[in-house]
Amino acid sequence: MLANVIPQISELYPKYIRIDNLYDFYNVVSRNDKGELILNFEKLDQTVCDIYATGAKPFFSLGYIPETISEDGSLIGKPKNWQEWSFLVQKTVERYSGRKTVLSCGAMYDFWRTDIYYEVWNEPDLEVFGK
């Protein structure tokens, strides 16, 4: 997503770059034949690596609800299973802040794994976002 503008962004010396629509745009969540959740962070990892290449850290906005786990099939509905939503948030945080974090751009050393911000949803109390 940012690969073609990394040099220009680097010149701005950003500390953080906010990334949104994690679970819909990046197709992180699907189900297998047994109905179990499958998580694939490959596409999101590419953008996170681009963020690191600018010298910044990611600021994750964890949303929207993946249609796969949405109660009404929409991105702004409630999860039909809150444990699946909790699992997804946990695995996302572990992916980018865990001790064993390794992305396609290489191992994430202590500095790059710390002080990452996670915003769980954005304005969940708005009328259109689950009320």
Q: What is residue 12's predicted lDDT score, i.e. its pLDDT?
A: 94
Taking only the tens place, the pLDDT of each residue in 47-96 is 999 999 999 999 999 988 899 999 988 888 888 999 999 999 999 999 99
Q: 124 or 2: which carries more pLDDT confidence?
A: 2
What is the pTM assigned to this prediction?
0.88
Write out the two tokens for 107: 């191992």
Residue 39: per-residue pLDDT = 96
Which of the two residues, 99 and 49, has the higher pLDDT score? Answer: 49
| E-only strand ranges, 20-65 | 29-31, 37-39, 57-62
Query: CA dist 61 to 11, 33, 65, Å?
Result: 24, 29, 11
Band of residue 102 on the pLDDT scale cut at 50, 70, 90:
confident
